Amino acid sequence: MHFVRGMLLAAAALIVTQPAAAQFSPDVPFVPTPQVVVDEMLRLANTGPRDFVVDLGSGDGRIPITAAKKFGARAMGVELDEHLIFQSEESARQAAVEDRVKFLNQDLFKTDISQATVITMYLLPAVNRRLRPRLLELKPGTRIVAHDFDLEDWKPDRKVMIRKNVFLWIVPAKVGGRWRLRYGAPGAEHTIEVELRQRFQEIDGTAKPDGQIPAPLWEAGVQGERISFVIVDGADRDNEASLYFEGRVAGNLMEGEVRRGVGGTQTAARWRAERVGS
Protein backbone atom coordinates (compact mmCIF):
# COMPACT_ATOMS: atom_id res chain seq x y z
CA MET A 1 0.00 0.00 0.00
CA HIS A 2 2.81 2.41 0.84
CA PHE A 3 4.38 1.66 -2.53
CA VAL A 4 1.13 2.32 -4.43
CA ARG A 5 0.46 5.50 -2.43
CA GLY A 6 3.99 6.69 -3.19
CA MET A 7 3.49 6.09 -6.90
CA LEU A 8 0.23 8.08 -6.90
CA LEU A 9 1.82 10.98 -5.04
CA ALA A 10 4.75 11.03 -7.47
CA ALA A 11 2.38 11.05 -10.44
CA ALA A 12 0.34 13.88 -8.93
CA ALA A 13 3.48 15.90 -8.29
CA LEU A 14 4.60 15.35 -11.88
CA ILE A 15 1.27 16.63 -13.21
CA VAL A 16 1.33 19.70 -10.97
CA THR A 17 4.88 20.63 -11.89
CA GLN A 18 4.46 20.30 -15.67
CA PRO A 19 5.08 23.69 -17.34
CA ALA A 20 2.16 25.48 -19.01
CA ALA A 21 3.76 24.92 -22.42
CA ALA A 22 2.97 21.21 -22.14
CA GLN A 23 -0.73 22.08 -22.39
CA PHE A 24 -0.19 23.69 -25.80
CA SER A 25 -2.38 21.96 -28.37
CA PRO A 26 -2.21 23.47 -31.86
CA ASP A 27 -4.73 22.56 -34.56
CA VAL A 28 -1.85 21.49 -36.80
CA PRO A 29 1.22 19.58 -35.52
CA PHE A 30 4.58 20.85 -36.71
CA VAL A 31 5.98 18.69 -39.49
CA PRO A 32 8.80 20.37 -41.46
CA THR A 33 8.28 20.80 -45.20
CA PRO A 34 11.24 19.45 -47.21
CA GLN A 35 13.30 22.30 -48.64
CA VAL A 36 12.83 21.15 -52.25
CA VAL A 37 9.06 21.29 -51.69
CA VAL A 38 9.37 24.78 -50.20
CA ASP A 39 11.29 25.86 -53.30
CA GLU A 40 8.67 24.33 -55.60
CA MET A 41 5.76 25.94 -53.76
CA LEU A 42 7.27 29.39 -54.16
CA ARG A 43 8.34 28.74 -57.76
CA LEU A 44 4.85 27.51 -58.69
CA ALA A 45 3.36 30.70 -57.22
CA ASN A 46 5.72 32.73 -59.42
CA THR A 47 6.98 34.50 -56.30
CA GLY A 48 9.06 37.63 -56.87
CA PRO A 49 10.40 40.81 -55.27
CA ARG A 50 7.02 42.57 -55.51
CA ASP A 51 5.24 39.88 -53.48
CA PHE A 52 4.18 39.72 -49.87
CA VAL A 53 4.14 36.08 -48.82
CA VAL A 54 2.11 34.99 -45.78
CA ASP A 55 2.81 31.50 -44.46
CA LEU A 56 -0.03 30.16 -42.31
CA GLY A 57 1.41 27.82 -39.69
CA SER A 58 5.00 28.82 -40.37
CA GLY A 59 6.72 26.28 -38.08
CA ASP A 60 10.47 26.86 -38.12
CA GLY A 61 10.12 29.74 -40.60
CA ARG A 62 11.72 28.08 -43.61
CA ILE A 63 9.06 29.20 -46.13
CA PRO A 64 9.13 32.94 -45.27
CA ILE A 65 12.93 32.85 -45.04
CA THR A 66 13.23 31.13 -48.42
CA ALA A 67 10.76 33.58 -49.97
CA ALA A 68 12.99 36.46 -48.86
CA LYS A 69 16.38 34.89 -49.49
CA LYS A 70 15.82 33.13 -52.82
CA PHE A 71 12.95 35.14 -54.34
CA GLY A 72 13.48 38.63 -52.91
CA ALA A 73 9.96 38.85 -51.49
CA ARG A 74 8.74 40.30 -48.21
CA ALA A 75 7.23 37.62 -46.00
CA MET A 76 5.39 36.97 -42.77
CA GLY A 77 4.96 33.77 -40.82
CA VAL A 78 2.04 33.06 -38.49
CA GLU A 79 2.62 30.45 -35.79
CA LEU A 80 1.06 29.55 -32.41
CA ASP A 81 4.15 27.94 -30.86
CA GLU A 82 6.31 30.71 -29.41
CA HIS A 83 9.36 28.43 -29.29
CA LEU A 84 9.15 28.00 -33.06
CA ILE A 85 8.79 31.78 -33.40
CA PHE A 86 12.08 32.26 -31.51
CA GLN A 87 13.74 29.65 -33.72
CA SER A 88 12.37 31.32 -36.87
CA GLU A 89 13.60 34.76 -35.86
CA GLU A 90 17.08 33.42 -35.17
CA SER A 91 17.13 31.59 -38.51
CA ALA A 92 16.09 34.81 -40.28
CA ARG A 93 18.98 36.65 -38.63
CA GLN A 94 21.42 33.94 -39.67
CA ALA A 95 20.09 34.17 -43.25
CA ALA A 96 20.44 37.99 -43.13
CA VAL A 97 16.78 38.52 -44.13
CA GLU A 98 15.40 39.78 -40.82
CA ASP A 99 14.62 43.15 -42.46
CA ARG A 100 12.22 41.50 -44.94
CA VAL A 101 10.68 38.79 -42.74
CA LYS A 102 8.57 38.94 -39.59
CA PHE A 103 6.81 36.32 -37.49
CA LEU A 104 3.56 36.66 -35.54
CA ASN A 105 2.80 34.47 -32.55
CA GLN A 106 -0.97 34.25 -33.00
CA ASP A 107 -3.96 32.31 -34.30
CA LEU A 108 -4.02 32.23 -38.11
CA PHE A 109 -7.81 32.62 -38.06
CA LYS A 110 -7.39 35.95 -36.27
CA THR A 111 -4.64 37.23 -38.55
CA ASP A 112 -5.21 39.90 -41.21
CA ILE A 113 -4.10 38.28 -44.48
CA SER A 114 -5.73 40.82 -46.81
CA GLN A 115 -2.41 42.30 -47.97
CA ALA A 116 -0.92 38.97 -49.05
CA THR A 117 -0.18 38.37 -52.71
CA VAL A 118 0.95 34.80 -52.00
CA ILE A 119 -0.43 32.51 -49.29
CA THR A 120 1.49 29.36 -48.38
CA MET A 121 0.23 26.61 -46.11
CA TYR A 122 0.68 23.04 -44.97
CA LEU A 123 -2.45 22.51 -42.91
CA LEU A 124 -4.78 19.63 -42.18
CA PRO A 125 -7.94 19.14 -44.31
CA ALA A 126 -10.31 20.33 -41.55
CA VAL A 127 -8.29 23.54 -41.15
CA ASN A 128 -8.22 24.10 -44.92
CA ARG A 129 -11.99 23.71 -44.98
CA ARG A 130 -12.46 26.37 -42.28
CA LEU A 131 -9.99 28.68 -43.98
CA ARG A 132 -11.37 28.41 -47.53
CA PRO A 133 -14.09 31.13 -47.25
CA ARG A 134 -11.45 33.65 -46.13
CA LEU A 135 -9.15 32.69 -48.99
CA LEU A 136 -11.93 33.24 -51.53
CA GLU A 137 -12.40 36.79 -50.19
CA LEU A 138 -8.80 37.76 -50.95
CA LYS A 139 -8.00 40.10 -53.83
CA PRO A 140 -8.47 38.39 -57.21
CA GLY A 141 -5.13 37.16 -58.48
CA THR A 142 -3.78 36.23 -55.04
CA ARG A 143 -1.90 32.93 -55.34
CA ILE A 144 -2.38 30.17 -52.80
CA VAL A 145 0.01 27.24 -52.61
CA ALA A 146 -0.16 24.17 -50.42
CA HIS A 147 1.20 20.66 -50.38
CA ASP A 148 -0.27 17.29 -49.45
CA PHE A 149 -3.78 18.58 -48.67
CA ASP A 150 -6.06 20.34 -51.15
CA LEU A 151 -9.14 22.58 -50.87
CA GLU A 152 -11.69 19.85 -51.63
CA ASP A 153 -13.98 20.77 -54.55
CA TRP A 154 -12.11 24.01 -55.27
CA LYS A 155 -9.91 22.47 -57.93
CA PRO A 156 -6.33 23.75 -58.18
CA ASP A 157 -5.32 25.83 -61.18
CA ARG A 158 -2.13 23.78 -61.31
CA LYS A 159 -0.79 20.68 -59.60
CA VAL A 160 2.75 19.34 -59.73
CA MET A 161 4.64 16.68 -57.85
CA ILE A 162 8.15 17.27 -56.51
CA ARG A 163 8.44 14.61 -53.81
CA LYS A 164 4.95 15.69 -52.66
CA ASN A 165 1.80 16.97 -54.38
CA VAL A 166 1.97 20.76 -54.63
CA PHE A 167 -1.21 22.69 -55.45
CA LEU A 168 -1.70 26.21 -56.79
CA TRP A 169 -4.95 28.17 -56.70
CA ILE A 170 -5.46 31.68 -58.06
CA VAL A 171 -8.25 33.57 -56.31
CA PRO A 172 -10.86 34.29 -59.01
CA ALA A 173 -12.80 37.50 -59.47
CA LYS A 174 -16.51 37.22 -58.74
CA VAL A 175 -18.23 37.31 -62.14
CA GLY A 176 -21.51 35.47 -61.56
CA GLY A 177 -24.64 37.40 -62.58
CA ARG A 178 -26.19 39.28 -65.49
CA TRP A 179 -24.04 41.61 -67.59
CA ARG A 180 -24.78 44.10 -70.36
CA LEU A 181 -21.87 43.98 -72.79
CA ARG A 182 -21.17 46.49 -75.57
CA TYR A 183 -18.51 46.34 -78.25
CA GLY A 184 -17.63 47.96 -81.57
CA ALA A 185 -16.87 51.40 -82.88
CA PRO A 186 -19.05 54.42 -82.05
CA GLY A 187 -22.06 54.42 -84.34
CA ALA A 188 -21.72 50.69 -84.93
CA GLU A 189 -21.97 49.45 -81.36
CA HIS A 190 -23.41 46.01 -80.56
CA THR A 191 -25.06 44.97 -77.31
CA ILE A 192 -25.02 41.47 -75.81
CA GLU A 193 -26.88 40.36 -72.70
CA VAL A 194 -24.64 37.87 -70.88
CA GLU A 195 -25.61 35.55 -68.01
CA LEU A 196 -22.66 34.04 -66.12
CA ARG A 197 -22.70 31.17 -63.64
CA GLN A 198 -19.63 30.62 -61.51
CA ARG A 199 -18.13 27.93 -59.31
CA PHE A 200 -14.71 29.06 -58.16
CA GLN A 201 -12.64 29.64 -61.34
CA GLU A 202 -15.02 27.64 -63.53
CA ILE A 203 -17.68 29.64 -65.37
CA ASP A 204 -20.32 29.03 -67.99
CA GLY A 205 -23.39 30.86 -69.21
CA THR A 206 -25.36 32.19 -72.12
CA ALA A 207 -25.21 35.21 -74.40
CA LYS A 208 -28.00 36.97 -76.28
CA PRO A 209 -26.58 39.23 -79.02
CA ASP A 210 -28.70 41.86 -80.80
CA GLY A 211 -31.81 40.25 -82.24
CA GLN A 212 -30.64 36.67 -81.64
CA ILE A 213 -31.83 33.90 -79.36
CA PRO A 214 -29.69 33.06 -76.28
CA ALA A 215 -26.74 30.79 -77.07
CA PRO A 216 -24.02 29.15 -74.95
CA LEU A 217 -20.71 30.75 -74.10
CA TRP A 218 -17.74 28.68 -75.23
CA GLU A 219 -14.26 28.22 -73.70
CA ALA A 220 -15.16 30.41 -70.73
CA GLY A 221 -12.79 30.81 -67.81
CA VAL A 222 -11.59 33.25 -65.18
CA GLN A 223 -8.09 33.37 -63.70
CA GLY A 224 -7.62 36.00 -61.05
CA GLU A 225 -9.00 39.19 -62.54
CA ARG A 226 -8.63 37.96 -66.14
CA ILE A 227 -11.66 36.58 -68.01
CA SER A 228 -12.07 35.05 -71.45
CA PHE A 229 -14.93 33.49 -73.41
CA VAL A 230 -16.14 32.96 -76.97
CA ILE A 231 -19.51 33.87 -78.46
CA VAL A 232 -20.58 32.71 -81.91
CA ASP A 233 -22.05 35.57 -83.94
CA GLY A 234 -24.78 33.82 -85.92
CA ALA A 235 -26.73 36.85 -87.14
CA ASP A 236 -25.80 35.92 -90.71
CA ARG A 237 -25.92 32.13 -91.04
CA ASP A 238 -23.77 32.23 -94.17
CA ASN A 239 -21.09 34.32 -92.49
CA GLU A 240 -20.96 33.07 -88.90
CA ALA A 241 -17.87 34.03 -86.95
CA SER A 242 -16.52 33.53 -83.46
CA LEU A 243 -16.07 36.52 -81.17
CA TYR A 244 -13.05 35.98 -78.89
CA PHE A 245 -13.39 38.09 -75.73
CA GLU A 246 -10.49 38.70 -73.35
CA GLY A 247 -10.51 41.24 -70.56
CA ARG A 248 -10.11 42.27 -66.96
CA VAL A 249 -12.68 42.30 -64.16
CA ALA A 250 -12.91 45.21 -61.72
CA GLY A 251 -15.89 44.75 -59.40
CA ASN A 252 -19.05 45.34 -61.41
CA LEU A 253 -17.20 46.29 -64.59
CA MET A 254 -15.31 44.27 -67.21
CA GLU A 255 -13.45 45.51 -70.26
CA GLY A 256 -10.95 44.34 -72.79
CA GLU A 257 -10.49 43.42 -76.44
CA VAL A 258 -12.69 41.30 -78.70
CA ARG A 259 -11.39 39.73 -81.90
CA ARG A 260 -13.87 38.68 -84.60
CA GLY A 261 -12.98 35.86 -86.97
CA VAL A 262 -9.61 34.28 -87.65
CA GLY A 263 -6.56 34.67 -89.84
CA GLY A 264 -6.39 37.52 -92.34
CA THR A 265 -10.07 38.33 -91.88
CA GLN A 266 -9.80 38.96 -88.16
CA THR A 267 -10.80 42.35 -86.79
CA ALA A 268 -10.45 43.76 -83.28
CA ALA A 269 -12.45 46.17 -81.12
CA ARG A 270 -12.79 47.22 -77.51
CA TRP A 271 -15.55 45.88 -75.26
CA ARG A 272 -16.99 46.85 -71.91
CA ALA A 273 -19.59 45.20 -69.69
CA GLU A 274 -21.53 46.31 -66.63
CA ARG A 275 -23.15 43.97 -64.13
CA VAL A 276 -26.90 44.61 -64.10
CA GLY A 277 -28.12 41.82 -61.83
CA SER A 278 -27.14 38.92 -59.63
pLDDT digits (tens, 9 = 90+) for 223-233: 999 999 999 98
Q: What is the pTM of this model?
A: 0.86
* Rounded average pLDDT over 35-63: 98
What pLDDT is stored for residue 236 in this prediction? 75
The domain locations on the chain are 19-170, 177-277
Predicted confidence (pLDDT) per residue in 117-144, tens digit: 999 999 999 999 999 999 999 999 999 9
Averaged pLDDT for residues 252-266: 96
Which residues, 6+ apart, have CB-to-CB distance to 206 below 8 Å? 194, 195, 214, 215, 216, 217
Q: What is d(CA 132, CA 134) in angstroms, rounded to the nearest whole number? A: 5
Residue type, 10: A
CATH for the 177-277 domain, from 3.40.50.300, 2.102.10.10, 2.40.128.120, 3.10.150.10: 2.40.128.120
Q: How many alpha carbons lie under 13 Å from residue 142 in its C-beta half-sphere?
A: 21
What's domain 19-170's superfamily in CATH?
Vaccinia Virus protein VP39 (3.40.50.150)
pLDDT value at 10 more than 70 = no
Q: What is the pLDDT of residue 3?
A: 38
